[in-house]
Structures are given as C-alpha cells and as structure tokens.
C-alpha cells in the first residue's frame, strides 16, 4: 500500500485496485493548497458530516476529487463495514475513526478527533502497521495526555502525524508544532518523506515507533 499526505489530515491510500482519500473537506478548510486528486472512496470523520450523503457535491469538491478506478466515488461518513476493491473499511458505532485492512496490513485513520474521544475505543485494535494521528493539540484536537494513552493502547509500527502547526493555515490558533510533539514524547526514530510504501512487518518486542512526517 502506498500512502501520501495531500495536506493537513487528507491522505491518499492506494493499491493497484483502489484508492482511498481521507477528509478532503478539512484540507479545503485549512487554508493549505488543495491539488486535484483521484479516489474511489472518500472517508469523512467530521462530526458535522456524520451520516450525510453527497458531501463532495455539498462542499463543492467534485472538481477537486475525481473517480479513479470506478465510475463514481463512494463516500463513507457512517459506522459500518465496507468491503471495496480488496480493502475492508470499518468504523464502529459511536466511534470517530476508521480501520482499513488490506489482507494482513492494518491502517488506523484517526481523523478529526478531539478531546471528547473515549480513548478506550482504541483498545483491542490488534496489530496496527500504520497509525495516522492528528498531533496539533490546541483547540481542535486531542491533547498530548490522550495521545500518550492511544499510543500505549495501539503501539503502531509506524506513526504518521498530521494536523499540526505550519505556515499557511487559517485555522487552529493554538496548534502545537511537530518539533514540540517530538520533544514532548522524546521520539528518536523520526524522518521525513514524500510518501510511504508500507508492508506488514513481523511483530517485535520492545520495538521503537517509527515516526514519519509525509510532506
């Protein structure tokens, strides 16, 4: 699976058969540049969008997001299980985030979670290869204390941070920077890259989380 960050909390997860885009409306609201992209499935985590249909049309995003391998885009904003193009997408009832499985590879996309999150919902997610998590804290997202609990519960192989302080934003006045995040948690295995090619990794005891900032 290939993972790219389009900006803010919008990621494109793709295989040869399917591409999944996350929260393009949040990228549009952020003030960051939004390049045209293609996707078969779009996942939404915003509380105001829960259970809605035709969100791309409503948010005037149909010119920015076009179908990829399919004739039309599947929009998902509600709990359920969806098997599409060899991917299993799950969202539990009253849960804001998604798990995305391709064979034995598991990605957890936390999306636009805030401090109302019940952290116990992140227990028992099994072996997580990639965790996509907003780290900006501030007035929009979960605080560092809850992030610490989430990382203890999930213990991912790779952490892809998103939604933090950066130039060009027009939202989130009190956001933390990636440097503040790294310093607070003491991460040492940190790097930047343009995209991630991820494959399942064997379970290892006492592994160090690899933190990758996609740019």
Say what the pTM is.
Answer: 0.95
* pLDDT (mean) for 8-26: 96
* pLDDT (mean) for 30-41: 95
Rounded Cα distance between 103 and 8, Å, is 28
* pLDDT (mean) for 58-86: 95
Number of alpha carbons in the 13 Å side-chain half-sphere of residue 143: 4
pLDDT attached to residue 53: 94
Cβ atoms of 133 and 112 within 8 Å: the answer is: no
- Its sign, for the CA torsion 155, 159, 162, 164, is positive
Tokens (6 digits) for 47: 């509380």
Which positions ≥6 away from 56 have C-beta within 8 Å? 24, 42, 62, 65, 73, 75
- What secondary structure letter does DSSP report for 201? -
pLDDT in tens, 99-150: 999 988 999 999 999 999 999 999 999 999 999 999 999 788 999 999 999 9
| Cα→Cα distances 178→12, 49, 66, 183, 195, Å | 21, 28, 31, 9, 18
The CA R_g of the chain, rounded to the nearest whole Å, is 16
3-state secondary structure of 42: strand
Tokens (6 digits) for 157: 């192989």
Specify the CATH number for 2-214; select among 3.30.300.30, 1.10.760.10, 3.60.15.10, 2.60.40.3080: 3.60.15.10
Number of alpha carbons in the 13 Å side-chain half-sphere of residue 139: 4
pLDDT attached to residue 76: 98
pLDDT attached to residue 172: 84
Residue 192's pLDDT band, with cuts at 50, 70 and 90, is very high
């Amino acid at each position: 699976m290939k993972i790219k960050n389009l900006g803010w909390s919008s990621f494109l997860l793709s295989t040869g058969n399917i591409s999944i885009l996350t929260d393009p409306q949040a990228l549009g609201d952020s003030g960051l540049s939004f390049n045209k992209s293609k996707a078969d499935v779009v996942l939404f985590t915003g509380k105001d969008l829960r259970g809605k249909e035709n969100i791309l049309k409503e948010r005037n995003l149909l010119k920015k997001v076009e179908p990829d391998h399919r004739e039309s885009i599947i929009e998902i904003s509600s709990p359920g299980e969806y098997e599409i193009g060899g991917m299993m997408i799950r969202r539990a009832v009253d849960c804001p985030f998604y798990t995305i499985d391709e064979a034995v590879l598991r990605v957890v996309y936390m999306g636009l979670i805030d401090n109302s999150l019940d952290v116990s919902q992140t227990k028992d997610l099994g072996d997580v290869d990639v965790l996509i998590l907003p780290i900006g804290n501030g007035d929009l997202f979960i605080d560092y204390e809850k992030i610490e609990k989430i990382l203890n519960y999930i213990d991912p192989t790779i952490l892809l941070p998103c939604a933090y302080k950066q130039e060009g934003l027009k939202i989130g006045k009190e956001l933390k920077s990636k440097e503040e995040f790294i310093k607070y948690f003491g991460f040492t295995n940190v790097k930047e890259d343009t995209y991630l090619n991820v494959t399942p990794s064997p379970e290892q005891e006492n592994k160090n989380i690899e933190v990758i900032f996609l740019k």
